[in-house]
Structure formats: C-alpha cells, structure tokens
A and B are shown apart, each in its own frame.
Chain A
Amino acid sequence: MRKLFRTALSIISISFLVSCNGNTPGETSDEFKPSLNTDTECEITIVGSYDNFEALEAEFDRFNVYYPNVSLTYEKIDDYNNVIGSVLEREEKPNIFFSYTWMMGNSKYDSVIDHMENLSDSSLKLNLDCIRPGLLSHDSNNNVLMVPVFSRTYGTLVNENLFKKENLKVPETWTELLNVCKSFSDKGYKSPMMGYTAKSSSYLMNTIAYPSFVAELANNPTALNLANNLDPSAGQYLRSSLEKVKALVDNGAIDVEECDKIADNYNKVILRFFEGDVPMMVCAGDTVSGTKKRESQSEAFVASPFDYSFYPIPSTEKGGYFIDSPSIEFSINKRCDDLEMTREFMRFLVSTKELNNMASLKRLVTPTKEMSFDSVYAPFGKVPQERTFSPEVIGIKDPLTAQVRIAALKVGRKTLTVDEAVAQYGALRE
C-alpha cells in the first residue's frame, strides 16, 4: 500500500513537474530519424570513470536498431581525472568522454576542453532544449561543450521499515530531524545518521552543509561573488551551515568513529546501509544509483529486505533543499575518427526519451525537463520550487564547493571549530 502510494505520488509529482517545465518552444520531436547511411560500419568508443555503465550499453543496443553495423564500446579509464588528457591524444582516440563543469577554468584541463566540440552548434542539430537549462554549462563564448546525462542531488537514504519499527516519522523539519535522531540514539542506535567521512570527498558533512550554503548564496549575489572569489569574508555565510553539521555531531546524530568504518564513498556506503540498522545514510544521488544492483549482493538485505527512499535532509524548519546539478556530462572529442557518426549518436542520445530511459536504468535523476523520478526519489518530488537550486544557474564555482566540503568535514570531525572554519574560508586545505 505504501509503495503504491509512493508510486502514485511520484506520478503526480512528475506530472506536476512536467506541467511546470513543459517543452519550450522550438524543442524538436523526440523521435529519432537517422541522417546517415544506416549501413555505415564504424567503431564508437565512450570513455569514462564508471566501472560499469549498463545504462549506456543499453543505449548502444537501442542505437544499433538504427545503425546495426556501428560497434559501440564503453571503456573505463583508470585514474580518469589525471589520464583523460592522454587518453584523448592516444592513437585510437575515444569519440565521447565524460566531462565535468569543474574542468572549465582549470588550466590542467585546457587540453581536454580543447578537444570538446561545441555542442550548441546548430549544424549538430542536438536537441539541447530537452535539458533543464540550469544543468547546461556555457563557456566564455557561450558555447555548450558538455551535455549532462544525469543529474545529481544530495540527501539521505532512509530505512522506512526502521522508522516504522521504532514508531517514528521521517523528519521533515530541522527540529524533527534532531528529535528523531535523539529518539534513535535513545533506542540504542549508535549513529542514526551515517555516511562516508574518511576524505574531503565525503558526502556526509558536505551533504548537510552544502545545500544550506547554496540556499544562503542564492539570494545574495554579493555573498556569492565573495564566496566564489574565496574571499575570507564570505565565511560568515557558511556559518549556519557548519553549525548544523556541528549540531548533528554534538547531538549524537552522527558518530564519526562509527562512520569511519565505512571504507569507501560508494559500495561500502550502500552495503552498510543494507545492513538494516542505519536509519539514515547520507549520500549523493550517485550513490543511490548503485543501490538496486547491490540489493542482491547484500546478504543482510536479502535476508531482511526493507523499504527505503532518498529524502532531502531537512536542514530548515520548512524542510530540505533539492540541489539540482549535473552528475555526469558527455563531450564529443572533436579529433576522433568517425566524427559524423559520433554526432549522430549524440543526436540520438540527447533526447528526452533516451536520457530518461538511461536515468531510469541507472537509477539517477534525469537531466531532461520531463523529470522522471525513480520511486526511491519520490520525496524530492515534494520539494517546492523555492527550495530547489541549481548551483550552475546560481553561478557557484568549483573552488567554493571545495571550501565548503573541507570546512564541513573538518568541523564534523572536530578538527576545526565553526569559528575557525569560517575564519579560514578561502584558505582551507585538505
């Protein structure tokens, strides 16, 4: 019954979002029509950092319906961020590669950016209109060099059965969150909220602090400017976010020592959550994407399955935030072989139908205007528009996010006080 309710809610939410974000004028039809000789034989290689990309491989099969003789391969690149430059220059050059907004403006990736084709070039006929505008990044020439294929958000996985078992309601406000955590603590749960805390890339602290900070800056351009420029004075805008981290740790909601037992930011986080004794596992949507496949890999979950959903962390008395930012983006290597077929594949892929299909398979949020949530993301459908932010739209730059991440981790681990972290904003290092 509950699942049914959730599914129905998802459908209503999606319908609402679709109606709010209806197709913009000029959006072309989603029906793909081959523009090249369908007998063309060639090889297309897509390189990225994912170990597995079955959702993309499914798209290969769908593309092969039109072009049966095109061989498409996904290749995982080791040490992607450091090696991608060489990979793009190798003898058998990849056609499409993963790209990230943080690469732009980083001189280390100038050569990578240089390989990116302008996807907003009208001659490519890419249907960029199907993508939510907030997720599209533009370079200084207003060109679109990368197309998001998934959207990332931040929140917490909630073990619904555990809440039910303890007769507790999933918190919707900051106060409720504190109370729920206390209740769990009182009932013997060592760390009602958990997550990966070992490195600064940790989602736990950052996921609590970052959405609040983004919300703080969204309506304050001056603060945003200062924060982007890593001006120490911008630290004051981070204070309330960091205090929330501190409060949760101090409150016993987060036991850092217990969280440190989680060895990595993805697989172990999921498997720990599936142990069934963690009420809330804080993570990003990327982590949620791995849950489905790992259900069968977790002996504990197979033995005692439970319902779970991904909720925004209620960091205000009104509720939580929905931070909508690109997860993975694709760029075309303009120096690859078979460039025309590469563009054709991108034309095929960049459509509401295919991107939604891929997001569904990957259990991630689609970047298209027609958002289709997996049922596990249903709670995000309830977040109102005023609490939905796109960092790219607001203009938040990567150095800023790094400062927040480090500050949150250090405050959470109590290596810095809130005051120290605020004061050191702009100069915080790993």
Chain B
Amino acid sequence: MKKIWVVIVNVFIMISMVVFVFIYASTETKAITQSQIENFENSTVTMEQVTENYLKGEQRICDVWAHYINSEDMTMEEATSFIRVSHVLKNASAHLLYLDTQTGKSTKPKTGTTDEYDVSYSNLGLLNDLSWVHEIGTSINVSRAYTNPINGEQSIAFCNYITLKESGEAKDSILLRVLPVAELKDNWVFLKEKFENAELSIIDANGNYIIKGNSFKNSSFFEFYKSYNNIDSTKAQVLFNKITSETGSLTMYNSRHEECIVAYTPFNATGGWALLSLMPKKDLIVDTENWFLIGVITSGLIILFIFDLIVMLTFNKKLQLTAKEADSANKAKTIFLSTMSHDIRTPMNAIIGLTTITEKNLENEKIVAENLRKINLASNHLLTLINDILDISKVESGKLNFVPQSFSIVKTVENLMNLSQPMIKEKNIDFSFHISRMDKEYLYADQLRLNQIYINILSNAIKYTEPGGKVSVDMKEEESEKEGCVRLTYKVSDTGIGMSPEFMANMYQPFSRQTDSRINSIQGTGLGLAITKQMVDLMGGTIECESELGKGTTFTVILDIPIAEHQRSEMKLNSMDVLIVDDDEVLLETAVDTLESLGLKAEKAGSGLEALGMIKHREGTGKNYDIVIIDLKMPDVDGIETIRRIRSEVKTNVPILLISAYSWDDVEEKAKEAGVNGFLSKPLFRSTLYDKISEIVGSEVTSTEPESDYSDIEGMHVLVAEDNDINWEIISALLSMYGITSERAENGRICLEKIKEAKKDTYSLIFMDIQMPEMNGLDATKAIRALEDPWASKIPIVAMTADAFSENIEECLNAGMNGHIAKPIDIKLVIKVIRRIKEESKK
C-alpha cells in the first residue's frame, strides 16, 4: 500500500472517530435541549394556569364589586365609598367611569393631592373599544397595560360594566379594578430555579403587550419578532396566529442578536391572549459537547497518528535501506561475477593462446622459452586472483586463521625486494627502501599474511606510479606497548596517480580500483586493499592512507608483532674502519648507526668523488679503510665509476661492497670488472651487513636460521586420492622431488579400500581430492575415520582440492580432515603441511 493511502486511511479513521464523538455529543445535546425546551414549555403552561387563576381571582373581586354595586343601585359616590371600604390591597385602586364621557372617580386621590379623585380616560384610548369587556362572571375582562392617569403607574385593570345612578337616572358605567404592573411582575416569575432568567409577557391577539418583560422590545411582540428576524408577512401571520392559539415554542433572535427560546401558550379565559416566556438559548442548553473530551481524543489520535507515521517512515526508511543494500549486494554480486569472468578470462586467454602458439613452434626453443615465461606470468596472475578471492572469502566468513611461525624480517624484506624488482626495473622507478635500526630479526607471526600485506601495498605503489616516478619504503622497529612485541611501522610512499577523496571513502571495498588515463589498464584484482585492510584489522594493527589525486599516496601500516624466541647470537665484528658512500642522507645515517652497532667505525661520504678523496686521504696517513661500501646509483659519478677510480687511483686493495635497491642483473658484470668484491641489497639490515662483512673479511659466520633440509621428509610414503590423471601426475612428480613416494587411489572408494587393506604405517598421510566419482573425498574421510583400526582411523588426511572457499575448508575439517591445500598446488606449502603433520604425529 502506498504511503499516501496509509496516511489517508489513518486520517480518515481519525476524523471519523472525532466526528462520531462530536455527532454523539451533539445528538445528546440536542436531545437534552429538546427535553429542556419541552420542560420550558410545560413550565410556561403551568405559569399560564397560575396566571389565569390569579387573573380569575382578581376578576372575581371585580365581579363581586360590580354585582353588589348593580344590585344596590348606587351613585358614583356611593360606589366609590363602597369600594374604598372593600379595598385591602395597598397599591390597588378602582376607577368608576361613565362610559359616555370616560370620566369619573378614583378610589384614591391623584398623586400629589389629597382630595382630587376625578379621573379621565378620555385621552388614553383604552376604553374606546370595549369589545373585550363581557358580562359579569363570564370572562376575565382585563385591560392592556396602560398608564394610570391618577398616579402615572403602569397598570392593568379588571373591568365590569356597572350601572350608576346619576340625578335619578341609571347611567352606563364601567368599573376598573386597577393593579400596578410592577407589583404583578414582582410576584410573577418562574418558580423553577433553572428558568430564573426567563422573562414573561402577556400579549393580546395583535401582539401588543398586556404585560411586558424587560427583554421584550417594541410595543408589540410581533413587531419585535419582525424587527430582528427575517420573515415574510405571510409566514409571520401564520406564526403569530399559532402563538395566540397553540402551545409551543419558537427560536428567535433578540435585539442583541442572541438566540432565544420563546415558549407560548394561549389563555383559555381571555380572547386571543397568550403567555410568552423568553430566555436566551444558551441558558437553556445543557452543553454535553464535552470539548475537553473531544480535544483530548483528537490530540491523542493526532499524537498516535504522528507517532505511527514516524515509526512507519523510520521502518520504511530501514526497509528501503535494506532493499538498497540487498540491491547493492546483488549488483555487487553481478559486478563480482562479471569482473571475475573478465579477470579470469584475461590470463586464461594468454595461457591458452600462448600454449597454442607454443604447440605450433615446438622446434623453436627461443619462442617456447619466451611463451612458457609468459604463460608462467599469466598463471601466477591467475593464481593470485584466485588466492585473493579465497582470502576475501575467508576474511568475510571470519574463517581466516593465522598460522604464526618464526620468521626472519630480513628474509621477508628481501623477498619483498625480489618480488618488486621486475616491476621497478620495468617501469624505471626511482626506488628506495630505508630501515632504521632493526634489532629483532626473528619475529613470530603468519609470515605469509604479513608478506601479503607488505607486498600488496608496495605492489600497488609501483603499479599506480608512472614510469620514472618515485616509490620509497620506510620500515622501522619501535618498542611496542604489547609485551613481547615490537611495533613494526611500514610506510610506502609513491608519486603515483593518487586517489580522490570519493575513492578513498570506498577504497577498502572489494574490486575498488583507481583508474587514471596514465595507467593503461587495470593492474590488479581490486581485492588487494580489501584483503590487506581485513588482515591488518585481524592482526590488531592499523592502516592509514594519505593521498592526493595526481600527487601520490602514502600508506602506513603499524603492527605489533611478537618477537620470536630464538634470535641470532650477538653480532659483533672486530673493530674496523668502514666508509659508506651514498647520496641518500637517510641511508647514510641509518647505515652508520647499524655499522657502529656491529662494533665498526663508520664514516660516510655523500658522493663518489668525496669518497675517493677520503680514501686517498687515509692512504696518505697510512690508515686505510678496512671496507668501503658504495651505492650503485649516485649522481655525477655512480658506484661502478667510483670503484673504477678507487682501483685505479688508490694503491690499497681495500674490499669494496656495492649496494643497491635494484636488481644486479644488468650491472653485475661491469661491477666485477671495476673491481667490486661483493654485492649487498638494500635495505641494509644489521644481519645482512654482519654476514656480508664477515664473508669479505673472512670471519666465520654462524647463523641460527633453520636450514632448509628435506631429509626429515625423505622416504615418506603417501596415498593420493585423485581422479584426475594430470593432477595425479603433477603431485606425484612434485613429491618425488622431495624424496616422497606416493600411491594413487582413483576415487574415494578405492582410497577407503586401500586404507582398509593397508598394514599399519604403510602411509604417512593421505592427500584427498574432494570431488571424485563413486565416493567423494568427504565421504571417504568420514568412512576412514569410522574404521575400527586405530591407525587407519587416525591417519592424517589433507584435502587437496580446487574447492578453495572457506566453507569448503570448513566442510573438510568437519569431515575429519587435518588440513587443506588448494589447487593449484604450491609444493612448498605441501612440504610445510607435511612437516606440520609429521611434527603433530610425533607429539
């Protein structure tokens, strides 16, 4: 589901819930409000009944008076006197008026007077139309509110026709029992507390107020309604008829534009009158719309939504990342396969092509030799590639095991130099290798892996440096924080193509190769740095790189390496005067230091001419140098020319050693002709100098280096399970070179049978191929390990297979094998394994 839909669905659910709560609360509010309105209407009806009873009561008093006055045939004065006597209410009064003149007497005097009882209604207009006055006892004859002309109070009057005697004649008159509205209003309120803000009014059939509450505006309720509420005249008339004839309620706006509820009910005993009660709607509505609750729910949902959204987005981001990584891994796999295909096919093409050419030119030894050399190079490259893949596999699966052993760092460096020389020579690279004092020659580590690290870095420097460029190596030994170790710093600097920061960020990733137009083709597998980094990390060391595109690169590897138990015996020489000649100041400094540590007195010269001068000077003093060490490549006068001059200009036949970081092949002959006594490869290790100087001066050289003696393995007899005839032929031939005899088993089943049939100690070990017909190597091993014969079941078995990945090795070991050798086989490695197994079997 798309993200937007998830958001939409969430928002929809959220809004739906809030709307539901809102609608529910609104419905509740409406129901309660409706109930309140009905209650309000009922209260109004009750008020109408109370009011009507009150009006009836007051009317009855008026009726009684009128009836009595009529029955007694009274004059105006007599009637007035009678009523004064009957009156009990303080604020009530009565007016008796002749109908013809609308004048008469009041029972109370005019305000501000004590004896003015005359009263006139002629200007009031109240009595112009008396249709609302009915016969005594038939109805409530109550007037609208009007201004009492006697006291100015707003009043209502209960009326009855009476007959008064005047001058002996009966005269139609009217009796008004007058009550102040204020008094009525004071006692005329809703009883229920919740309707205390309700205001009451009584209107007549025309909407005119009989009694008017404060909130009722205008002189007519109908006008009041029309003034503040939009309604056309037809609808208004229908509404107003309803108000004066039915019980109900309506909603209207008052003068403040507030919504009000008006409950109305008609008076039964009066013509067209209605009781109205009005109150603001807000006072009537019980708000059940719990906005706080709605707010909390809304906020909660929004927070939940946002939280879910964040979680979802984070989860999605992770998924995207994972998918990207998977995609990237997939692409890497494709690239890997593609690269492998390319990288394997390239040397294979050379091997196949050159083999074909060679087959056609077998009679031409020169071509055969050259092609074999090239085939060998291509084979080595292919092997390196395969080994690198295997290493990467091992590293990535965490199965890379180090096999530490005692080794000479001098030999390691020599090996490094030897391996580098062809390329240095080919590219004419200005190469230098400096070492500071290297006290500990023998160290204890996995020499192969260390070599691999150093070779990788150095070969990269050479590969990525243009012809004529410069590569320098600095190696120094320092004290290590780790007990029993030395800190070996290996620093390789070049003036090559350098690397961009972008490339450096990923340079330890497999198949990363910096390309440059100056480098014609891909130089390596692209796995070297990745392997190197992993190995350095596994060895607990550090690898650092400084590089600038176009200017060069410097790699620094620092490793803490344990010191081997056995070191060379004290290397001391008899005191001799040595002159060392080189244009390299650093080399001079370190060489002087090393020579002096051997007990020699060393002097240095920066050039051939200076050396010649110094030698001549010594000759003059009779104290000749005992040995002169001269660098091959020096500006102006090189090493050979210097030797030539020494030999020609100095009589003393001082031993001269020629030193160089380059191969001797091209200069060896010339040097010998010039009179050199020996050659010495840079860097100048202490032991190298010691051995060479001892040799030159005729001292006995003793070394603790173990001899390469294969007598320990001579005469061994091994069983080789190998289905491939060529492979069998190769291994059998190689082993025989070391005096080891071998017997073939064509597959695992035959191997198993041979072991079963063999007598004890017939075979020293078994080299077992894995993929074989009938029975594979793994099954055969398991079967052998399951044999009852203790010798047979414990016989050392070493896998010798092209299945070189870590899981293959693991499978072999799990099947009960004692080791693993990958094809193509390195005979030295085979010998090493044989020795190890032999050592283990002795234990």
Binding site for B on A (CB under 8 A): 51-52, 54, 57-58, 60-61, 64, 71, 73, 75-79, 82-92, 111, 293, 296-297, 302
Contact = CB atoms under 8 A, between A and B. Distances in A.
Contact of B111 (A58, A71, A90): A90
B227 A83 contact: no
Contacts of B256: 61, 64
Interface string B105-126: 0000011100000000001111
Given A83-B152, A86-B111, A71 B147 contact: no
Nearest to B226: A296
B150 interface: yes
B251 interface: no
A79 B218 CA distance: 18
Interface residues of B, number: 29
B223 interface: yes
A63 to B, nearest CB: 12
B259 to A, nearest CB: 15
Contacts of B152: 77, 83-90
Given A87-B152, A88-B152, A78 B124 contact: yes
Given A61-B256, A89-B112, A54 B217 contact: yes
Contacts of B123: 78-79, 82
Contacts of B218: 52, 54, 57
B153 interface: yes
6 contacts: A51-B219, A52-B218, A64-B256, A82-B123, A86-B151, A296-B233
A51 B217 CA distance: 11
B146 A52 contact: no
A302 B232 CA distance: 11
Q: Please provide the 3 A-B residue pairs with the shortest distance between their CB atoms, ordered closest to farther.
A: A87-B152, A86-B152, A79-B123
B153 to A, nearest CB: 5
Nearest to B215: A71
Contacts of A296: 226, 233
Interface string B598-618: 000000000000000000000
Given A60-B255, A85-B112, A90-B151, 6 more contacts: A78-B149, A79-B123, A89-B151, A92-B182, A111-B112, A296-B226
B153 A83 contact: no
A60 B11 CA distance: 49
B219 A76 contact: yes
A83 B233 contact: no
Interface string B166-197: 00000000000000101000000000000000
Contacts of A76: 219
Interface in B216-232: 217-220, 223, 226-227
Contacts of A111: 112
B154 interface: yes
B214 interface: yes
B286 to A, nearest CB: 23
Contacts of B154: 75
A58 B218 CA distance: 11
Given A75-B154, A90-B111, A302 B124 contact: no
B149 A54 contact: no
Given A87-B147, A90-B111, A78 B125 contact: yes
Given A57-B217, A76-B219, A78-B147, A90 B227 contact: no
Contact of B146 (A61, A78, A88, A293): A78
A371 B705 CA distance: 127
The DSSP consensus for interface residues of chain A is: helix
B232 to A, nearest CB: 8
A73 B185 CA distance: 14
A76 B223 CA distance: 15
Contacts of B227: 54, 293
A92 B218 CA distance: 21
Interface in B140-166: 146-154
A62 B529 CA distance: 89
A86 B147 CA distance: 10
A91 B149 contact: no
Nearest to B150: A86
A296 to B, nearest CB: 6
Residue from B150, B152, B217, B233 with most neighbouring chain A CB atoms (10 Å)? B152
A51 B207 CA distance: 13
A86 B110 contact: yes
B255 A79 contact: no
A319 to B, nearest CB: 37
Contacts of A79: 123-124, 147, 149
Residue from B126, B154, B227, B256 with most neighbouring chain A CB atoms (10 Å)? B154
Interface in B399-455: none
Contacts of A61: 255-256
B150 A57 contact: no
Given A61-B255, A82-B123, A77 B111 contact: no
Contacts of A89: 111-112, 151-152
B111 A78 contact: no
A342 B217 CA distance: 20
Contact of B219 (A52, A84, A86, A92): A52
B178 to A, nearest CB: 13
B90 to A, nearest CB: 11
A92 B147 CA distance: 13
A90 B214 contact: no
A302 B152 CA distance: 40
A42 B110 CA distance: 28
Contacts of A86: 110-112, 148-152
A30 to B, nearest CB: 22
Contact of A58 (B124, B153, B219, B255): B255
Contacts of A78: 123-126, 146-147, 149
Nearest to A76: B219
A47 B120 CA distance: 20
Residue from A64, A75, A77, A78 with most neighbouring chain B CB atoms (10 Å)? A78
Given A57-B255, A58-B255, A61-B256, A77 B147 contact: yes
Contacts of B151: 86, 89-91
B111 A302 contact: no
A251 B112 CA distance: 54
A82 B219 contact: no
Nearest to B110: A86
B215 to A, nearest CB: 9
Contacts of A52: 218-220, 223
Contacts of B149: 78-79, 82-83, 86
Nearest to A51: B219
A42 to B, nearest CB: 13
A79 B125 CA distance: 8
B111 to A, nearest CB: 5
B674 to A, nearest CB: 119
Nearest to B126: A78
Interface string B205-217: 0000000001001
Contacts of B150: 86
Contacts of B111: 86, 89-90
Residue from B110, B148, B153, B217 with most neighbouring chain A CB atoms (10 Å)? B217
